């Protein structure tokens, strides 16, 4: 496929996916959105298992069912309280901080031994389940939790798009050349600026006030930076197995995991920041 044809396919796919995602976030009640998000995240986890070199379909199915059961148990054990979801979200933030260390020592678990697969399987659960809990927490929050979830995702999308365009125009210094050679420091700065602009507009869209702006910008900055960590981590495990994409489900975009890697890291951070700053 030509470059222009590939770009056209990506744009068409994005124009189809974006309204569906935004409509679901803004219109569905939390329990229905949680079910839809669980399905999406579990598809991403299925792809993660492939990157972790779990090639047997039965094994991947059993592992996926175990993660689904964990989600169901979290809902059952919560019994109307969100405390358990908050704890799991905190675990997610702690995991992504630990993932920074893994990125530093990128050769860790890069071989094909059983222990390497075990670490990556654990990483998959620690990425997927806390992000799902954070999504539910944000959407269920009052007031305007559905709008805040849209803002959180828009911050990630803006960071990704801003990094792409700023990197193409100004990119010189490589951010992580051994993990993702196309990412640049200039792209990172452009992505952060775009994310902060979206966050400022999102505050007022969600009915916030000017006094909340500093807190929202701090949280947006953290979420944008962690979205890059999520993106880099997926690039790391793909590089370990020589994969270009996590899958081929989305035309022009690769797999589901390729689209949600930044979201997985950003959502727990945004949920925690939203709680700390009280917006």
How far is 271 from 268, CA to CA, in rounded Å?
5
Residue 202: CB atoms within 10 Å: 20
Q: How far is CA 42 from CA 36, 210, 232, 271, in A?
A: 10, 38, 20, 20
Quick: pLDDT tens for 187-240: 999 999 999 999 999 999 999 999 999 999 999 999 999 999 999 999 999 999
Task: Encode 119-151: b = buried (16+ Cβ within 10 Å), e = exposed.
Answer: bbbebbbbbbbbbbbbbbbbbbbeeebbbbbbb
Ranges of the chain with pLDDT below 70: 1-14, 250-253
Q: Identify the pLDDT of residue 3.
A: 42
pTM score, two decimals? 0.92
Q: How many domains does the chain have?
A: 1
- Three-class DSSP category at 251: coil
Ramachandran class of 56: left when φ > 0, alpha when ψ lies in -120 to 50, beta otherwise:
beta
**Containing domain of residue 40, as a range?**
3-277
The label of the residue with tokens 């993702």 reads 180
Q: Identify the pLDDT of residue 1.
A: 38
């Amino acid at each position: 496929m030509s470059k222009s044809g590939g770009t056209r396919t990506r744009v068409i796919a994005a124009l189809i996916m974006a309204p569906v995602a935004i409509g679901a976030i803004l219109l569905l009640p939390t329990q229905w959105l949680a079910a839809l998000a669980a399905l999406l995240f579990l598809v991403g986890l299925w792809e993660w298992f492939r990157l972790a070199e779990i090639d047997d379909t039965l094994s991947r199915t059993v592992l996926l069912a175990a993660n689904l059961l964990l989600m169901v148990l979290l809902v059952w054990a919560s019994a109307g309280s969100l405390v358990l979801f908050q704890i799991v979200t905190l675990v997610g933030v702690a995991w992504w901080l630990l993932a920074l260390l893994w990125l530093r020592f990128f050769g860790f678990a890069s071989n094909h031994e059983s222990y390497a697969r075990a670490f990556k399987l654990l990483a998959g659960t620690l990425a997927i389940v806390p992000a799902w809990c954070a999504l539910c927490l944000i959407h269920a929050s009052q007031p305007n939790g559905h709008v805040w979830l849209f803002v959180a995702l828009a911050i990630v999308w803006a960071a990704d798009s801003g990094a792409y365009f700023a990197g193409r125009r100004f990119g010189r210094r490589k951010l992580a050349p051994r993990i993702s050679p196309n990412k640049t420091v200039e792209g990172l700065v452009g992505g952060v600026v775009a994310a902060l602009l979206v966050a400022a507009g999102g505050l007022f869209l969600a009915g916030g006030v000017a006094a909340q702006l500093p807190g929202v910008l701090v949280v947006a900055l953290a979420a944008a930076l962690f979205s890059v960590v999520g993106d880099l981590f997926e690039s790391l495990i793909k590089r370990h197995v020589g994969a270009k994409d996590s899958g081929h489900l989305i035309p022009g975009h690769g797999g589901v995991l390729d689209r949600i890697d930044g979201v997985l890291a950003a959502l727990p951070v945004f949920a925690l920041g939203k709680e700390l700053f009280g917006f």
